[in-house]
Structure 1
Amino acid sequence: MKVLRWVALPGLLLMISGGAFAAELQGSELSALWGVPFAGVLLSIALMPLLAPIFWHHHYGKVTAAWALAFLLPFALVYGPGMASVSLMHALLAEYIPFIVLLTALFTVAGGIHIRGNLHGSPGLNTAILAIGAVLASFMGTTGASMLLIRPLIRANDNRAHKAHVVVFFIFIVSNAGGSLTPLGDPPLFLGFLKGVDFFWTLRQIFPETLFLIGSLLAIFYALDSWFYHRREELLPQDPTPDTRRIGFDGAANFWLLGAVAGLVLLSGLWKSPVVFNIVGTEVGLPGLVRDAGLLIIIFISLRITAAKVHADNQFSWGPMVEVAKLFAGIFLTIIPVIAMLKAGTHGPFGAVVSAVTRPDGSPDPAAYFWATGLLSSFLDNAPTYLVFFNTAGGDPQALMTTFASTLAAISAGAVFMGANTYIGNAPNLMVKAIAEDRDVKMPSFFGYMLWSVGILVPLFIVMTFIWFK
């Protein structure tokens, strides 16, 4: 993958010049100015498609790489190439590469399953697909469910004049809220599972919140889609893909591969091995290596066994995956100092954020944790944000699952639910947007999407705060 070339090159240069490994980056010693490249990546994603769409379409990878280098090179000069190489390789080996390998596996395998036939994109059918996707998301991951269902959903509505709202609610429900019930659903919950949170804890603890949010979103969507559906000239004179009741699956063998992906992810959390490899200061465990190697094998198998016609019928292309890989490479690299500053707690530049989640008597404030975790997860990667507040709340899984259960529930819900607030809050958001645009769906801009999320999601989050997190 081309993105790995410019990601790996600075690391190789730094290792050659650095030599010795450096100590862990101390966020308390950093200036908030180190967050400027990260802000630059976010603003580029938000503004450049509006201000310079043609330039961005052809050069978004170069722009993202430039911001990554704007962090790495000054950081190497100030703190030394040893510290820079350790920080870079940790971001790549411990976070970015496992993240991208898992996404690529889910993208490839789900892209090898073609739901044959086409049903009429009525409000009832659309709502049913969103509900099915919400259930699937917690068992095959938000990425897997999104990649499986977004294409047939777009195809079912390709005779509609208005369909962007269908994709927006798909991101709300399938790409985010639906993954809140098990560690297989969303990366933050998987990290909690690795830290010792019981596999079914979130299912038992935040099922009412999930049911409320998804139920409310489905009701709102049905009303809105019905309003569009019954407008004059909503249906195009000719359906590009006429309806047929003969629904089936091509490439169904990929369902077994989806099960294998879930099994590998689960195995890497349950398997405890003393075998650890130290690579440029980053410890990489054997279970993680086995998981990632297994996922790469699954990608290869899926590509080999999937007929070319299935990929053609799915309009499968690597464009959305390449876009996500490049953009998140920049995000994972420039976020290094931001996460370090957050981990510094009250002693770091973002100490006010950490202090805001604690009540005057020293006890955690679930409502504050819900909003702090959620708002940061809207713009930062929600997995490390979850870990930051998990540790801020004490980091003891047994205490958090019992005495402070409402706090852990707030952290979990904030990280998963509010990932839907922006396109960059969760990786499937960008992938779904890219697939929709590849199929000529005119999606909202970065800020246009936020108008949807602020207008629909935020009021629901406020209601949830008063019911469950007060």
Structure 2
Amino acid sequence: MRLIVALALFAAMFPGVALAEADVHQLVGSQLSILWAIPFAGMLLSIALFPLIAPHFWEHNFGKIAMLWAAAFVLPCAIVFGPYAAAAETAHTIAVEYLPFLILLFALFVIAGGIRLVGDLAGTPRTNTAILAFGTMIASLVGTTGASMLLIRPMIQANRNRRRNIHVFIFFIFLVSNIGGSLTPLGDPPLFLGFLKGVDFLWTVKRMFAPMVVASGLLLALFYAIDTYFWRQESHRGQRHTGDQLRIDGLHNVSYLASVVGAVLLSGLWHPGIALPIGFGIELALEDLTRDIVLLVLSYLSWKTTPRTIRIENAFTWIPIQEVAILFAGIFLTMIPTLAILRAGHEGSLSSLVAMVSTSDGRAIEGAYFWLTGGLSSFLDNAPTYLVFFNLAGGDAHALMGPGSLTLIAISAGAVFMGANSYIGNAPNFMVKSICEERGIKMPSFFGYLLWSGGILLPLFGFLTWLFF
């Protein structure tokens, strides 16, 4: 509470801060002090540091911490600008940005959790590489979360008898949990947020294809070489198998996944021009509301029609999605003033950041966009980081898909690809780590993982910068 009061006092010391016209309900970024970014920075630093320095405390109190940082923005905003302005900003962010994002993630999580691959797999280099390649391909259709939850348990089962198998799951995070989701807005949360901002669905497929193929192709080739080396070190390569044929339980959920794709596509192509007012000057487009309702209905159908035994055998729990929902609520709310400042560009308090990604004449430096977006995505969270740099580049989807297309590619690739640099770069990373450790696989520590990603991914990203940006 002392922190909240202090922030309110600091904010009140800057009388030039103002709101836009009453019917817009947006903070004027050019008149906001950098102090308004403190809750956002605190929220992201909490996510980065608490799991390292106080994991047990974080596990039991992350929701309280997230809400504390959210209150650290909302309450000072109410004091300085008035309760109505704070409520309007909060309602707009939740209704227009946070809920659509969470609903899509929830649908993919529930539906993918009802599909289970059953059978006897041997964790040979060819098999492992094939699983990684398949997961990389489907991640853009079912999401990095869905693909990770679908394939991590078969991958663990296939490699259960190998003494050296940690590298398998590290590359799994690289490819399936991150890079594979770079082709569609369904693949990774940053791209879906871009879709909500007006980026065409098929634009992402066409313009991200080349960077994704180069990155994943090089990683798969490197993995095959590393896995072959470790495979040859095994004292006994032959594994005892049951001879069970592969089969997929809960196959009907594939049709639900296809319906998710259809619902998202529909919302991007169908524009009836009808909007429903919900208060505070906010209107929800009929196509967006229809999409979200369809996604929730598909989630319910998957839950009701999938035998409970499948989810039990998949070790399905609500904990991962609950954690994501709580943390992202704090992130989205604390981002409000930061995004307003970034929208102000050279006139805002973060003009020095603008200068790093553009020349003196205003031309974008694509390589800087790629590395700055990716660098923050590595340790903070790639979805809000994407939004930050999307707005820094102007925030106009049509302009970014046209003359600024290379800039948008750099932002998209940085947010999605470099989410693999650390455990906290993307939501599925920690899910994969937790499931592996539950099955007795000793995953690297936070810094141990950084050694793997730094040694493998940073040279790869340097090559991609030279090749594309």
TM-score bracket, shorter-length normalisation: 0.7 to 0.9
Deviations 1:59-91 (A, max 9, x none): 322232233223332332233222221222222
Aligned match of 1:132 in 126, 129, 134? 134
Residue 315 of structure 1 aligns to a residue whose secondary structure is: coil
Which residue is 1:89 aligned to? Answer: 91
- TM-score, length of structure 2 as denominator length: 0.85
Taking a change above 3 Å as real, the CA distance of residues 226 and 66 of structure 1, as seen in their structure-2 partners, is farther
Residue 142 of structure 1 aligns to a residue whose secondary structure is: helix
Q: What code does the residue aligned with 2:352 have?
A: A
**Displacement of 1:430:** 3.5
Which residue is 1:315 aligned to? Answer: 315
Deviations 1:114-154 (A, max 9, x none): 11113122232221111111111222322222222122112
Distance 1:436 1:245 in 2: 23
Which has the larger displacement, 221-230 or 100-109?
221-230
Distance 1:159 1:35 in 2: 49
Whether the aligned pair in 1 keeps the contact of 2:200 and 2:268 (CA below 8 Å) is: no
Distance 1:217 1:200 in 2: 25
**Displacement of 1:263:** 0.9
Which residue is 1:413 aligned to? Answer: 413
Which has the larger displacement, 413-422 or 301-310?
413-422
Residue 245 of structure 2 aligns to a residue whose secondary structure is: strand
Distance 2:94 2:441 in 1: 33
**Displacement of 1:211:** 1.6
Q: What code does the residue aligned with 2:100 have?
A: P
Aligned match of 1:103 in 99, 105, 110? 105
Deviations 1:2-48 (A, max 9, x none): xxxxxxxxxxxxxxxxxx87730122233323333333333333333
Distance 1:443 1:268 in 2: 40
**Displacement of 1:461:** 1.1
**Displacement of 1:267:** 0.9
Which residue is 1:201 aligned to? Answer: 203
Distance 1:196 1:62 in 2: 34
Q: 1:341-380 alignment to 2 at 5 Å?
A: 341-379=341-379
Which residue is 2:180 aligned to? Answer: 178
**Displacement of 1:320:** 1.7
**Displacement of 1:104:** 1.2
Distance 1:339 1:147 in 2: 32
Distance 1:51 1:421 in 2: 19
Taking a change above 3 Å as real, the CA distance of residues 399 and 92 of structure 1, as seen in their structure-2 partners, is closer
Which has the larger displacement, 396-405 or 274-283?
396-405
Residue 288 of structure 1 aligns to a residue whose secondary structure is: helix
Distance 1:59 1:435 in 2: 21
**Displacement of 1:353:** 1.5
**Displacement of 1:438:** 4.1
Which residue is 1:467 aligned to? Answer: 467
Whether the aligned pair in 2 keeps the contact of 1:251 and 1:306 (CA below 8 Å) is: yes
Aligned match of 1:153 in 143, 152, 155? 155
Which residue is 1:66 aligned to? Answer: 68
Instruction: Give structure 2 stretches of 5+ with no counterpart.
Output: 1-21
**Displacement of 1:403:** 4.1
- TM-score, length of structure 1 as denominator length: 0.85
Q: What code does the residue aligned with 2:159 have?
A: N
Q: What code does the residue aligned with 2:77 have?
A: F
Deviations 1:168-216 (A, max 9, x none): 2222211221122233323443454555555433443332321211112
Taking a change above 3 Å as real, the CA distance of residues 43 and 60 of structure 1, as seen in their structure-2 partners, is same
**Displacement of 1:274:** 2.1
Taking a change above 3 Å as real, the CA distance of residues 213 and 247 of structure 1, as seen in their structure-2 partners, is same
Whether the aligned pair in 2 keeps the contact of 1:35 and 1:338 (CA below 8 Å) is: yes
Whether the aligned pair in 1 keeps the contact of 2:343 and 2:395 (CA below 8 Å) is: no
Deviations 1:280-335 (A, max 9, x none): 34332211111111111111111111111111221111122222222222222222
Q: 1:397-436 alignment to 2 at 5 Å?
A: 400-436=400-436
**Displacement of 1:452:** 3.0
Residue 246 of structure 1 aligns to a residue whose secondary structure is: coil
Whether the aligned pair in 2 keeps the contact of 1:45 and 1:446 (CA below 8 Å) is: no
Residue 25 of structure 1 aligns to a residue whose secondary structure is: coil
Residue 265 of structure 2 aligns to a residue whose secondary structure is: helix
Whether the aligned pair in 2 keeps the contact of 1:386 and 1:411 (CA below 8 Å) is: yes
Whether the aligned pair in 1 keeps the contact of 2:116 and 2:314 (CA below 8 Å) is: yes
Instruction: Give structure 1 stretches of 5+ with no counterpart.
Output: 1-19
Distance 1:166 1:136 in 2: 18
Distance 1:386 1:51 in 2: 27
Deviations 1:361-394 (A, max 9, x none): 4322222222233234335554454455445545
Identity %: 56
Whether the aligned pair in 1 keeps the contact of 2:342 and 2:392 (CA below 8 Å) is: no
Q: What code does the residue aligned with 2:176 have?
A: V
Distance 1:178 1:192 in 2: 17
